[in-house]
Amino acid sequence: MKRFEIVPNFSEGRRQDVIEALCRCYREQPGSILLDYEFDADHNRCVLTAVGSADALIDATLAACRIAREKIDLNHHEGGHPRMGALDVLPFLPLEDATMEDAVAAARMLGQRLWDELRIPVYFYEEASLGRKRLLPEIRKGNFEGLREAVKTDPSRRPDIGGPDLHETFGASVIGARKPLVAFNVYLQSLDMEIAKAIAKAVRESSGGLRNVRAIAIDTTAQGTVQVSMNLVDVEQTPIFRAYEFVAAEAAHYGAAVSHAEIVGLVPLSAMLAVAERSLRLRGFYDQQVLEVRLAREEKA
Amino acid sequence: MKRFEIVPNFSEGRRQDVIEALCRCYREQPGSILLDYEFDADHNRCVLTAVGSADALIDATLAACRIAREKIDLNHHEGGHPRMGALDVLPFLPLEDATMEDAVAAARMLGQRLWDELRIPVYFYEEASLGRKRLLPEIRKGNFEGLREAVKTDPSRRPDIGGPDLHETFGASVIGARKPLVAFNVYLQSLDMEIAKAIAKAVRESSGGLRNVRAIAIDTTAQGTVQVSMNLVDVEQTPIFRAYEFVAAEAAHYGAAVSHAEIVGLVPLSAMLAVAERSLRLRGFYDQQVLEVRLAREEKA
């Protein structure tokens, strides 16, 4: 069976009963497993992680969006995080035997059903983009309030499915497919934000650094450090150790040693094994040498 | 359910039909999974790896020993590897929720049944030793031929269960409990075996090096290298990266860089994650952040 991870972001981070009702949709759907959920009152947003078959995840998401359509009104939504819909964004990530094409197909299926069954307009992003690849900030520019007006006059801002107007209270959703993203932060033994900014600029793709790396400097001087905060959007092509070694070398250039690092949220096993292989200089290692990996394969057989 | 890994070593590495019959006992026993098997005609020995409940693994082993008792005669067994029994040695390794005490209990149960049901005398070793901890070479000293004579005159060499004489054709088995062992080899950019010997001596516990490390030098000069071959017998207490860093530092002292390394056979996931945590200087990382680990937990729940 082909399985996917999805990361639905809903615009609700304050009302526990609503968050719980959304989670329940993924927990109680047969074939879907809710792995994790986080919410933030300041952002007024919750982020769920679920794994399952495409059908199960799509059914669970439609159930959750029925609740969101009833309970969340973007006209009265306040929070620090950009947003344009009650279900704001949802990527499909292929797992195990599933391919990126399978994830794109699942995203398209969900988008079609959101419009057909709930009249929610949908934009496709990342690998599921129609035509040229679009990223979230471009689609969400102006937030719910700005986008609601933009679609009236600018055809290029209109939804890929449904619309052209946004849903009156729900707004619209951005659905897509992408590889797993690893949130990786490196802390430096320094109180100089200029150094963290220079390293973030050096390492990120957009200013000439490493492909597949997004980076900003974060002020953590209250903890006696500064942070280079990275999103690694393709750890097969640009592994975690490459980002780490790049930042450590840049830090050494400025005389600021690495204090420590952290991975926020989930990380694929293969990405962690790649780090171990690198640092032990392993040759000929394969994932099936890990007892638990071998065991999982035999249990499925 | 508490599960264990076992690594039964049988004194048969040439007759495919016998090896296959032994494997089938572990493959067909409900509750037992045969993970792996390797055999070597020169050693005339096969090494199986199975995972399951204590009951399932004990039943499968009794079935395999019935076959071994019928097919393997130590009086006519030739091979390069030391051996004293048709089932020569079998350790229980605790997995997941199982403790070392559970593994010792399983080893004792198997030993008792081998004698009660098949009249095979048993010695206990490693954590399952009766009284002071005994290792395999001490028990197996003299091999089948020497031990068969020694038990007649030396009470300290007699079996822990059954005997005092060995089984006429089967010999006797060594059953025990231990932690997972990681076979880890580091290759040096050098053709000087004296350097490899000096490093092996420096790193191994027995000559004053790292606890839980056994090491010898292996001549791999035909590959343009020399090898420091290690068995790490407790990677929780003495992690893989510690052995690697120790060997790399010693090699640097002699001006011989590390070429590469290899892990032979299976390795626990936690041992590989510990390497990745070390090299990324991760703080606050926990195994449940690995997607596949989290998923396995949720699927069991």
Would you write out chain A's pLDDT as a tens digit for each of its 301 residues? 899 999 999 999 999 999 999 999 999 999 999 998 988 888 899 999 999 999 999 999 999 999 999 999 999 998 878 899 999 999 999 998 899 999 999 999 999 999 999 999 999 999 999 989 999 989 999 999 999 999 999 999 999 999 899 999 999 999 999 999 999 999 999 999 999 999 999 999 999 999 999 999 989 898 899 999 999 999 999 999 999 999 999 999 999 999 999 998 899 999 999 999 999 999 999 999 999 998 888 887 6
Q: SS3 for B242?
A: helix
User: Whole-angstrom Cα distance, residue A179 to residue A211?
Assistant: 14
**In this predicted structure, what is the pLDDT of residue A301?**
67
B240 CB within 8 Å of a chain A CB: yes
Neighbour tally for A28: CB within 10 Å: 11
Smallest CA–CA distance, residue A239 to chain B, in Å, is: 12
**In this predicted structure, what is the pLDDT of residue A9?**
96
Considering only CB atoms, B258 lies closest to which of A244, A258, A281, namely: A281
Q: How far is CA B23 from CA B40, B44, B60, B63, B90, in A?
A: 15, 16, 9, 10, 14
Confidence of residue B79 (pLDDT cuts 50, 70, 90): confident
Query: Tokens for B169?
Result: 């054709």
* Nearest residue on chain A to B276, alpha-carbon basis: A276
pLDDT, greater one: A81 or B56 = B56
Confidence of residue B163 (pLDDT cuts 50, 70, 90): confident
Q: Are A292 and B180 within 8 A, CB to CB?
A: no
pLDDT, greater one: B96 or A232 = A232
Q: Catalytic: B81?
A: yes
* Nearest residue on chain A to B34, alpha-carbon basis: A298
Q: Are B295 and A180 within 8 A, CB to CB?
A: no
Q: Are A266 and B241 within 8 A, CB to CB?
A: no
**In this predicted structure, what is the pLDDT of residue B301?**
67
**In this predicted structure, what is the pLDDT of residue B71?**
96
Q: Are A35 and B295 within 8 A, CB to CB?
A: yes
Chain B CB contacts of A279 below 8 Å: 241, 244, 275-276, 278-279
Q: What angle do CA B84, B86, B89 make, to 5 degrees?
A: 65
Considering only CB atoms, A294 lies closest to which of B180, B266, B290, namely: B266
A269 CB within 8 Å of a chain B CB: yes
pTM of the model: 0.84
User: Whole-angstrom Cα distance, residue B288 to residue A129?
Assistant: 32
* Residues contacting A105, CB < 8 A, separation 6+: A54
Q: Are B285 and A262 within 8 A, CB to CB?
A: yes
Q: Where in chain A is the domain with CATH 3.30.70.670?
A: 182-291
Q: Are B269 and A35 within 8 A, CB to CB?
A: no
B239 CB within 8 Å of a chain A CB: no
Considering only CB atoms, B289 lies closest to which of A33, A263, A278, namely: A263
ipTM comes to: 0.84
Q: How far is CA B101 from CA A142, A281, B176, B179, in A?
A: 62, 36, 11, 11
DSSP state of B225: -
Smallest CA–CA distance, residue A131 to chain B, in Å, is: 31
Considering only CB atoms, A262 lies closest to which of B284, B292, B294, namely: B284
Smallest CA–CA distance, residue B142 to chain A, in Å, is: 34
B97 CB within 8 Å of a chain A CB: no
Active site residues of A: 81
User: Whole-angstrom Cα distance, residue A266 to residue A279?
Assistant: 21
Query: Tokens for A243?
Result: 């980002």
Pairing of strands B182-188, B258-264: antiparallel
SS3 letters across A217-267 = EECCHHHCCEEEEEEECCCCCCCHHHHHHHHHHHHHHCCCCEEEEEEECCE
For chain B, the 3-state helix, strand and coil shares in percent, each to the nearest 5, are 45, 25, 35
Q: Are A280 and B280 within 8 A, CB to CB?
A: no
Tell whether domain B182-291 is in CATH 2.60.40.10. no
Give just the sign of the alpha carbon dihedral B176, B134, B98, B299: negative
Q: Hey, what CATH class is A3-177 in? A: alpha beta
A266 CB within 8 Å of a chain B CB: yes
**In this predicted structure, what is the pLDDT of residue B300?**
73
Q: Hey, what CATH class is B4-177 in? A: alpha beta
Q: Where in chain B is the domain with CATH 3.30.990.10?
A: 4-177
User: Whole-angstrom Cα distance, residue B287 to residue A269?
Assistant: 10
**Window 55-74 of A, Cβ < 8 Å to B:** none
**In this predicted structure, what is the pLDDT of residue B249?**
97
pLDDT, greater one: B222 or A113 = A113
Smallest CA–CA distance, residue B212 to chain A, in Å, is: 19
Smallest CA–CA distance, residue A80 to chain B, in Å, is: 26
Chain B CB contacts of A273 below 8 Å: 272, 276
Chain B CB contacts of A261 below 8 Å: 280-283
